[in-house]
């Protein structure tokens, strides 16, 4: 295909991506370096109350000639980033003396470390990072194992059942994430079915939404529930491509079931394991809806949710931009292996 034709074909798509991905990305960098506020001045008014009069100073937005509020923009440099990272809190936390506990006993190194960790994660950004990483670290191995087991199981049942199993599995995966999270939350409310069952089974009344540990547990549960089907479907498709000669050869050589799985099937599926892991790492890093639904950021937060909160609650574009850019840093780290792999693959295809 000649170059000019190529350009014509890709133009609409490229323009869309330039205007609405590349440009906004540059815009976020710009916004993060500034601050803006509505210019206000104090107006003194005399307020008459039953016990006398007092003078009150109230802030009032200054208006320009056209009657619009005057917005002041101010160069902030790295200050938005420092606010998000909690630079001053960190410095304070680092220098705090923890050699003696509250009761006057000398503390061990481990206690000092956990106290420092607690102080650091009390800063919202680091708390969000901590839970994002915890969520990723816990869900990844579980969905890989569970997805593989389900794929092996479905592969061994009669064909009539496969359709039903795949249908049921697709539901958590494609359902609107907010709805998926809510549907699970509604099972764990104080008077909801699972809470009541657990109580009847003798586990006692558990108030799932009231404490950080159970909230975190539920968020991770939702993550597993939603991501396992993807692993299962991809690995199941991969299982259909295991060459039957290799498997037969292994059986003839006297390999038992476990050895066949260990030495034939898993190595064959290895590239797929790598693929689903990479995709899940990216998805887990931007976990958002379960946090929104279960904790709203209390007790468990994620980087994407934190940025969203700064934007929707504080309405602070500048601070939100700084948080968003800090989040991109992490994505760069995650992306490096994927980009290298794609670079090699596509180089070959294009050469």
Partner 1 sequence: MSQPSDTPNLADRMPLWLMLLTGIGLALWVLAAAFPFFWMTLISFRLPVDAFSVPPKLIAPFTTEHYWQLWVGDRFWLKFLNSTIITVGVLVISLTIGCLAAYALARYGGALGFWLLLVALIFRALPHVTLLPSYKFAFFELGLWNRYETLIVILVAINQPFTIWMLRSFFMNIPKELDEAAQVDGCSRIQAFVKVILPVMWPGIITTGLFSFLLAYNDFLISSQMMNADKMTMTSALSAYMNADDDAFKLMQGVAGAVSITAPLVVLVLFFQKQLVSGLTQGAVKG
- Angle, helices 303-312 vs 317-350, to 10°: value is 140
Instruction: Indicate the helix (H) or strand (E) that contains 287.
Output: none
Residue number, 19 or 100, with CB nearest to partner 1 = 19
Helices (H), 18-123: 23-32, 79-85, 87-95, 109-121
Residue number, 134 or 173, with CB nearest to partner 1 = 173
d(CA 303, CA 119): 18
Residue number, 43 or 336, with CB nearest to partner 1 = 336
**Taking CB under 8 A as the rule, which mask of x and - marks residues 16-35 in contact with partner 1?**
xx-xxxxxxx-xx--x----
Residue number, 113 or 197, with CB nearest to partner 1 = 197
Q: Does 198 bind partner 1 (CB under 8 A)?
A: no
Of 308-327, which residues contact partner 1 (CB under 8 A)? 308, 311-312, 317-318, 320-321, 324-325, 327
Residue number, 138 or 242, with CB nearest to partner 1 = 242
Please choose, from the candidates 235, 206, 216, the residue with its C-alpha nearest in 3D space to the C-alpha of residue 295.
216
Of 144-163, which residues contact partner 1 (CB under 8 A)? 149-150, 153-158, 163
Candidate residues 37, 197, 207, 213; the one interacting with partner 1 per rule CB under 8 A: 197
Q: Across the strands, what pairs with 42? A: 59
Q: Does 171 bind partner 1 (CB under 8 A)?
A: yes
**Taking CB under 8 A as the rule, which mask of x and - marks residues 200-219 in contact with partner 1?**
x--------x----------
Candidate residues 56, 64, 74, 248; the one interacting with partner 1 per rule CB under 8 A: 248
d(CA 110, CA 93): 16
C-alpha distances in Å from residue 146, one per residue of 138, 225, 233 = 13, 10, 12
DSSP annotation of 22: I
Q: Does 329 bind partner 1 (CB under 8 A)?
A: no
Instruction: Indicate the helix (H) or strand (E) that contains 38.
Output: strand 34-38
């Amino acid at each position: 295909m000649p170059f000019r034709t190529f350009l014509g074909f890709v133009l609409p798509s490229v323009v869309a991506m330039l205007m609405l991905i590349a440009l906004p990305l540059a815009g976020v960098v710009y916004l993060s370096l500034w601050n803006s506020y509505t210019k206000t001045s104090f107006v003194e008014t005399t307020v008459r109350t039953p016990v006398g009069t007092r003078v009150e100073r109230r802030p009032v937005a200054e208006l320009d000639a056209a009657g619009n509020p005057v917005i002041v923009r101010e160069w902030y440099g790295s200050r938005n980033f420092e606010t998000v990272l909690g630079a001053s809190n960190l410095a304070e936390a680092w220098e705090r003396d923890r050699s003696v506990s509250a009761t006057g006993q000398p503390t061990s190194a481990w206690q000092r470390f956990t106290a420092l960790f607690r102080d650091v994660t009390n800063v919202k950004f680091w708390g969000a990072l901590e839970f994002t990483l915890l969520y990723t670290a816990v869900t990844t191995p579980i969905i890989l194992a569970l997805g593989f087991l389900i794929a092996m199981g479905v592969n061994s049942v009669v064909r009539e059942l496969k359709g039903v199993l795949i249908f049921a599995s697709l539901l958590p995966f494609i359902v609107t994430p907010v709805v998926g999270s809510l549907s699970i939350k509604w099972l764990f409310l104080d008077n909801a079915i699972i809470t009541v069952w657990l109580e009847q089974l003798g586990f006692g009344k558990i108030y799932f939404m009231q404490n950080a540990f159970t909230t975190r547990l539920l968020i991770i549960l939702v993550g597993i529930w939603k991501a396992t089907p993807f692993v299962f479907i991809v690995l199941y498709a991969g299982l259909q491509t295991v060459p039957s000669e290799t498997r037969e050869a292994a059986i003839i050589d006297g390999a038992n079931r476990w050895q066949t799985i260990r030495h034939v099937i898993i190595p064959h599926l290895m590239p797929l394991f790598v693929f689903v892991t990479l995709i899940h790492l990216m998805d887990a890093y931007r976990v958002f809806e379960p946090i929104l639904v279960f904790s709203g950021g209390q007790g468990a937060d994620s980087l994407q949710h934190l940025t969203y909160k700064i934007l929707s609650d504080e309405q602070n574009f500048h601070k939100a931009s700084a948080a968003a850019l800090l989040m991109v840093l992490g994505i760069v780290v995650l992306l490096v292996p994927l980009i290298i792999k794609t670079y090699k693959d596509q180089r070959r295809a294009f050469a």
